[in-house]
Chain A
């Protein structure tokens, strides 16, 4: 609009007042500019990610025949990345290894799904003194009591951890098939009288 630009140096509003066509054009331009400003204000929070902008800029500079300046290579970035990854793997392995031991029922197992937990009958008391770590035998459910002069023998077996459930231990579902070592006391009749499990 050269005519309008020329008139603007002298005072655009005088011409606009005399020229209805230019007045209409100016009015439309103002409306458009106002709308664009409003749109820009509304979309201020929405902008392309930095990587898109950098790629667009690089493409533009490439098409325009200009040199793309690459940032200097930082040698410590891959080193730090690999060190962090190794530390994460070691920490995870230690966490998982630490968690692989017998969890008695009275300990908190809230972070695990419990398969089942059966309480022993009230009259089947623990034969071992709980303060005596050397003798933590638990009577077998429904086993006869041990007579004063009864012959006792011992058998060591490895059983699935799920076998502990019947003795009142809580066993998590994901560890039910793991093996656990047990010592079983046999009475004079050859039937199991008591058992204890080992970590």
Chain B
């Protein structure tokens, strides 16, 4: 089949094998070819037809495959071959496209030729010898043109080929042509060729070719920014026209992608990390954000121990330390009862960097759901010089993502498939089994009454307790030993497919992107499904380029109906989840303590669900206008529409509704969010090298508008699980609620990048931002940065050290901002009181006390850095930074007689300083074997310099909160109080000047008194006590590590490649909450616990132990330094092993141009000094992925 298709593409074998597709192809292709041939100079309507047809063919069975080898040589032999046939063969063999008027070819004569592996250019020259046509090759396209002067001269060149130019030609002026190549033989584009002393000149095309009109005896000067200039006297002009230029050391023709145009890497003074798609694919198969951690030590994801590997939880992260107070503080979260990480909390995370995708700011969720195959490259911009052009959004760093653009040429199909196995990782759990648990209960004497033996009820209570123990023992003897941990989990197989079809002419290109991704989480039935399709069209002439990308994405996700993992981990192993008689799940588990326990396994069967989905349309239009060689204007306009819904249903059959009224059973909560945003950038960029000066200036404006609408409704009373649509609800519990929000941003910016002799560098940028969210008195904000640097390796002195390929020092300073406050916070706003009307009409009231002077948060940061490359193989980069974030937006408390409790003002200051080291050592590099070691490290220190009064009040609120601890030892209520007090076991962060945003507060502990198993504390004044008091809390540790980073190796042997990464962290502290909750405070009467309860708790006088007495059920251990542990760890983050198939073999055997398979494993192993349970509400998982990348 494939072969047929191939042949029919070639156009001269039109066999019908009965396949409809083939028939279709044979019918349409000749027509298509005709269109293509006519393309040069025909109106756009027909191009469209071609496009449509092409797209159609591509979609029908994806048969449009080509054996194009991309080689630049041809082997064609034959007698009297018509040129049409010759070009078909060229197309087939080289993969080059051929365009031109077909009428031109009709005028040509057939040729007789015998060529074996002849270079294409030579071949074309020879077949066109004496013909009325010429050609021009641009990229991978051969344009057939009528023979005109320049091409005639090319003809001439071939005729003079072999002999030096004769000086006594009758015409003194002549045109010479040639090719400029580098030392490695590859052609060099953009070399300017000047006649010495004259203004006239030429430039090489992308094949390195040039032609220039000269007089004899003149001297030609070849110059290019990355090459040493060369002068050649025409007398010495080589016969084959081949000019070799010597490359300058450490070629960095690359550019830094800033999102607003590209800046030459060599002259850029900002700090950034650039990552390509290939790099990312080595580390992850689908989690882009976590992969970025590997490449930049300052990019860090906050570990979410609660949500583990839940595919539906977005990560929280920051760059170069945290610099803002959280939007919702810990205590407020606790008191409002909202869960840990919601979308809302993330929006309020004051440290999240912004993401710019193809010039357009996008939400984190979009990045999270993005297919990594769409990425071309990612740049993390870190300091002021790199980010200042983002103005009021820049302070947290900017991550710029560029997506792939279709490449011209024959249509190619790229397939990427991932097949992975995800298995839950329970290695951090160490729960007791039924027998052990029973032993522990005996040891803890939980059967013993709380009343003293003198009490008259003592004996009865004791008997009751023993009776219950006996019942449990009977269960154990019956063989009940439920391993609850594994019940809601399963090992999942996931697969993901991406097809990218690209191709077209140099002038018109098409890219079609299709993706399917199904990620099942390890909690049963939790998943995230992503579907996407995109179409990219690009039209290009020599001066203009238009590109339109349209994308549609659909994501459906569902949380596990099995509920939270933590609902299982604490269940007693001697509980039988099945009814002994019926074999079905029991609704309630046995009740030994007058404490109702629902069976979560039963709950999983009643039909609860928690679903979310969104649909997103994005259209991104870009126009590039290359006004002159130096001036370039770009205009971008992007529109995005997103429609998201969530449905959360609690089935009426849930055991939660045991005794409630029929009409109130079952609940459905629906929310809908609609976002419409647009973004427009227009900027001009002027880039020119004049002698030793290189100037790059950009000017532009940027406007953005985001409108969001949110609505929610709560329905109650459902007949059964199937009737879960709102239509079946008995009532609307709450009037559907709707809110909307519009935010706009307008900015104009200018940047300048200048270098002198490629040695002295200067960067400057300025941006003015206006935001609808700022106060009326401060609508506009200026931001700026300046940077300077020196390329020492280009100086004369360092030329003496040829092994120093690069040595650059840079320094920059700038002011950026961030505005992470809620919309309208700066303004006096009225809220319409919709709940009910006053008899004389609808009313409204002031929402907050606006602050007209409210401004963005500001950050002044400076950075000094050095970058060194030795022997072209060893690279090391060092940066030291200091970021002072001030005017932090915080609540300022007011006396309530002002009418309000708080208003927002700019108070507060946070300092982050630290350094980063990045190294890459290419130790072995030869044809078959290469071995590179990479490593990076970042150190950051965070300090709160100033806080508002309200933060101090917040601190006292924390003390009040702990004051809620109930000290009562009333025997009958002790277990009740124990449960009520359990929440006080968690340390809550305070904000104090001089400490950091990651400080842990608690009582300083002196350990467990071996005499009685009680903890001894030391107060800040040095006195010793048994009593825990919130006032005596002090900073006991800091979660921020001294350093963190990544190390890894990247090795290649022949076609095998190996990439491993290890992430490490040391010097930070961790409060071992699971040790507190599950061992120290374990409530053995109600819950299962860690095995360490039996082995590590104090049992009798004289025991030297770090954990309190096992018999102690009275007191909940509140934050103490006893549970503070040094958190040093190394995670074997990823291991990937890949194999690249030999292209020649592939072409021959499979007709493919590229095939790579790789095996990837994430979270291979973890070595940590802290032993704690990982993944509380959702377990962690290990993933094994097999990836196939193929191109046809």
The answer to whether A and B come from one shared complex is no
